[in-house]
Amino acid sequence: MKTREVKVLNRGLEDEMEVWGYRPCLWKAVLVGVGAVCSGGLLLLLLYWLPEWGVKGTCTHTSLRDAHTLLLRTTDEFRQWFRARVHVMSAPGAEPFRRLDQDPLANGDGDHVTREHHGKGSHTRPAQIHYFTLHSTRYFWNDSLHNFEVHTGLEDLEVSCSRIHSEHSGGLGRRQQEYRALFFGENEISVRVPSVFKLLIKEVLNPFYIFQLFSVALWSAEDYYYYATAIVIMSAISIATSLYTIKKQYVMLQDMVAAHSVLRVCVCRGNSEVEHALSTDLVPGDVIVIPANGMVMPCDAALIQGSCIVNESMLTGESVPVTKTSLPSSGEGSADRYHLEEHKRHTLFCGTQVIQTRFYAGEPVKAVVVRTGFSTEKGQLVRSILHPKPTDFRLYRDASLFLLCLVGVAGIGFIYTIVLSIMNQVPAKTIIIESLDIVTITVPPALPAAMTAGIVYAQRRLKRVGIFCISPQRINMCGQLDLVCFDKTGTLTEDGLDLWGVHRAEEGSFSPPERSAANTSMADSAFTSCMAACHSLTRIEGELSGDPLDLKMFGATGWVLEEPTEEETALHNPLTPTVVRPPPANQNSPETENTVFEVGVLRQFPFSSALQRMSVVVRRLGDKHMEVYMKGAPEVVAGLCRRHTVPQSFAETLETYTRQGFRVIALGCRRLDSRLSWHKVQSLSRDLIEKNMDFLGLVVMQNKIKEETSGVLCELRRANIRTLMVTGDHMLTAISVARDCGMIRPHETVIIADAAPPKDSCPASVTWRHMENPAGAAKDAQTVEINVEDEDHDSRVAPRYHFALSGDAFAVITEHFPQLVQKLLLRATVLARMSPEQKTQLVELLQGLHYMVGMCGDGANDCGALKRAHSGISLSELEASVASPFTSSTPNISCVPDLIREGRAALITSFCVFKFMALYSIIQYLSVILLYSILSNLGDFQFLFIDMAIILIIAFTMSLNPAWKELSWRRPPSSLISGPLLCSVLTQILTCLGFQVLAFVLVRQQSWYETWTPQSDACNASSSRIPHSSNATDPHQHKNIRNYENTSLFYVSSFQYLAVAVAFSRGKPFRQPSYKNWPFMLSCAGLYAFLLFIMLHPVPAIDGFLEMVCVPHAWRVTLVVMVMVNAAVCFVMEEANDRWGPSLLSRLFCRRNRPPRLSYLHLALELQDHAQWPPGPSAVTYAGDPL
């Protein structure tokens, strides 16, 4: 017997899975077949719903190498199970990047084939390769690893940039391409729209619909045809609606992906041959030619020749053209291993639009294919949409537990019915039907549809205010948000930057600041030339296009940008140069009348968020030497400049500007040796060029806060929702903006955590820098008090503190100070210079503290965090918003409180509807159990009236309450299995039980009571003439529906449904009052009026339809009084539970002194009495120090 073998796939990645191997087992398959026949197919359904049972029930364990079927389980908190079939294919080799022998089309690659090939390739037997496919990803067996692996693309070779140039720039031969295609398949992000039949089968096999099918079959056996037909119609409408929605989403996604997914491309077959091929035939290693007029990229490819201007809005949400340059072939950067993320400035991503190409004279722009299909960045995005992670929300887990409780109640009724029926010698068929009927009554078939209604209505209301949702299940999550992270630029502040002024540095000191950079005296200065030349702007259809910051800086100079034509480029032979020159007015000035002043850009190093700078190599017309211009973050630029050129007051001046919220850009320049040729410059690494610069000065930009920002943040603070700023901007600028918009209030202290990595023998350290209070409040910054319950509403709380840290400090602290991370995040408010990956990591860490995290960004560099957050809100309507569950057409953060309000309303609606549907089941269950005791039941049309006229109308109209107009500081409950909610449900159940039992007992004690017969006429008969007798029921009487107990319980229970609906339909502080929900009020009023009318003024036709009997008027009045008292008790009990329930339960179960369950509240309580926290001003904490 083989030992059980388990391996881990995608270790350390988001989709990490455990995998087991199985092979078919004949005797197990036979047993399952017999069980399926005996159970009428129910066993097959169970194995379909539980794939792990399906595999274990039909297969036996084996090694992964010999497996025919694989069982996989995710390692995250959801522990999802999947099964996959192992396939076998024949191939000339087992490795996709192996060189094949005898490939005449490879031309220059023939030598490599001979060197790398071992043995007689043409005579070897084909390799048998085992693989399986899961979630659009193909996994191949690797004998050396003894595990399955994914072939991503060219990155698997771990080659350097220089090796890509030397070994992969010639292209693949046809035979080599066909061989790799066996492993990588077609280069296509295929979104196959399932057929309606397939979707129908998948939808119908949902456990809920199977239960409905069982219910309909049971009701049909009881001749309850009308109600069964109504349920069938409802189910058909629900299934049709669901199929239409799912089909529409598939078609929309397919249309988005299919656009330009298949096109003809020029592929290099060897060093000289070029052929046209379909993009679906591309494989990693192919070399494609980018046409001069651009194209939509069908794959991820690394530029190896020329440069491109690309629109990457599909991926980043930012429609700013980006310049892509070729991979370095020599110099320091060429030895680095190629990585898609690290070399994204040299990579063209699938789905992005190449707008223009720039190339050498006569030389095409080339790129080597790195990834194809679902391995591309676009493919991974589509895959995450096709196969999303399940929504982890406590409400849905608790709902399942609550349904199990109802199933338990149904089990009690099931046993009770069987025992009672046997004691009364009821026929076996009737026993089976009636006992199973209890189950269908206790678990309401309409529950999922009713609970979905509130989310659907909230989604419609959000759409009316310009918020679009692609994940409706997350609307309820929005109601639980207690922390929201905001990007700064474009989210809290305006997109555009205005030039406030310039501050030039001359001879190691600052000149007085100037408000304009277009002065005549500055026209030919290095400062103005740097502003005009150091950018990535380009002309597209005659219009300047590029980064808004670049556009503002260039526009401030008044200079003109020209891009030569192809003929001019061919004349000069270098990479197409961009030329900038002063406007004609400046060219005619006395200083320049004898010369033409212009600057040509010869090489560009694009802006890198990791390096926080960009630079260009330029040559002025007539000069023999070249110059380097650089701009970037002030602290970075100053660090690359010669020390004597940086003014001594640099730090003080920079702090002055950043404290006022200005965005500051530093400029630098350097004159290169005149002996350096253009060709030599092209091969120099960035690090060799960007050093020994001369500091030129500062460009001061003003980034205005959006009008809505302060009001929204104030509203969130009043609602006790914490806010964070996560930005790529300078620390002091971010702190200033946080103070200006109210995220940090004037009396609150900011503590900057400066972390330094270990160096030599010195361990990593954190220096705590307390910023002075700009409001000048003379209070002790060390006095800190944390009120966990409601810190924002207690004016007695001492001045709070906020942590601020940079991306570099964040990286050091997470690596070297793991014990500090949670303490910092508990009070961190400003996180500056954060990379996109760090934003995502931050969201994950906050979720680890049990925060419900929202993320609001403009789509640029925020995609990862938007996807990771519980609720991601994109302010960009571009295609990148597909990564975010919510997209706002309003370009400001006013959408955040709107979304939270609607989320809270939808969440409370879900609770109300669930409680109502649970009470509906229990009330009907109680009625049926009482009637079963006399071998009676509710009639077919009574069931129909209750379920259709009362329950469905009420359930769907009580969900229409709009959200409350203000955000309350109170939080909606997050769990169905909570004390107050269970107390509410139990008290209502006991109340309804008490009044039903009262009605059942009282009616049998009336003087006119007798065993009802068709000749009975209690309404007109004299009480003295009717003898009192037991309600003996003839077992042969069909169903025994018509009797006094049935009529009394029907009236009482009908009013109980309405009473609990009104009691549960709460308004303030999360929803508008019920009286503003006119459909619900009209429905309740109409049903109350109808029921009172038929109670007090019986109509024979209605009584006959509902199978009720006539009872004396005095008893009808008694029932009216009873239901009114019942309703009053329901309202009083619910109000008392809302007001005093939580505190009473806390005292009763001694929960007042228990620590909070949420990690961040527990940590806040711990730190409240921590004398050494926060650290004092200028304190230093070293790695390993006790904290």
Q: Give catalytic residues, as residue numbers.
A: 487
Q: What is the 3-state secondary structure (H, E, C) of 614-626?
A: EEEEEEECCCCCC
**Beta strand 886-888 with 871-874: parallel, antiparallel or unpaired?**
parallel
DSSP state at residue 154: G
Q: Which amino acid is at 824?
A: L
Start-to-end CA distance of the chain, whole Å, equals 53
Q: What is the DSSP string of 357-391?
A: EE--TT--EEEEEEE-GGGSHHHHHHHHHHSPPPP
Tell which residue, 1034, 1052, 1041, has the closest CA to residue 1109. 1041
Between CA 780 and CA 790, with CA 786 as vertex, the angle to 5 degrees is 130
Laid out side by side, the sheet with 828-832 consists of 467-469, 886-888, 871-874, 853-857, 483-486, 722-726, 828-832, 801-806, 749-756, 765-770, 1180-1182
CA distance 144 to 167: 26
Exposure string of 716-752, with b = 16+ CB inside 10 Å and e = fewer, is bbebbbbbbbbbbbbbbbbbbbbbbbbbbeeebbbbb
The label of the residue with tokens 């260039």 reads 554
Amino acid, res. 136: S
Q: Is the distance from CB of 272 to CB of 161 less than 8 angstroms?
A: no
Cα gap 1→219, rounded to integer Å: 50
How many whole angstroms separate alpha carbon 820 and alpha carbon 1064? 45
Using a 10 angstrom Cβ sphere, with 0-12 exposed, 13-18 middle and 19 or more buried, the burial of residue 292 is middle
Which helix (H) or strand (E) segment holds residue 484: the answer is strand 483-486
CA geometry: angle at 282 spanning 277 and 287, to 5°?
85
Counts of helices then strands in the chain (DSSP H, E): 38, 41
| C-alpha pair distances (Å), 850 with each of 818, 825, 826, 844, 1157 | 17, 12, 11, 10, 9
Question: Tokens 């925020």 correspond to what residue?
Answer: 862
Q: What CA–CA distance (Å, rounded) separates 1067 from 909? A: 10
Rounded Cα distance between 531 and 585, Å, is 19
Q: Are 663 and 632 in contact (CB under 8 A)?
A: no
- For residue 567, give every residue at least 6 positions away whose Cβ sits within 8 Å of its Cβ, in sequence order, or none: none
User: Do 701 and 651 meet the contact criterion of CB atoms below 8 Å apart?
Assistant: no
Cβ–Cβ < 8 Å for 474, 900: no
CB 152 within 8 A of CB 383: no
The β-bridge relationship of strands 300-305 and 483-486 is unpaired
State the Cα–Cα distance between residues 760 and 764, nearest whole angstrom: 10
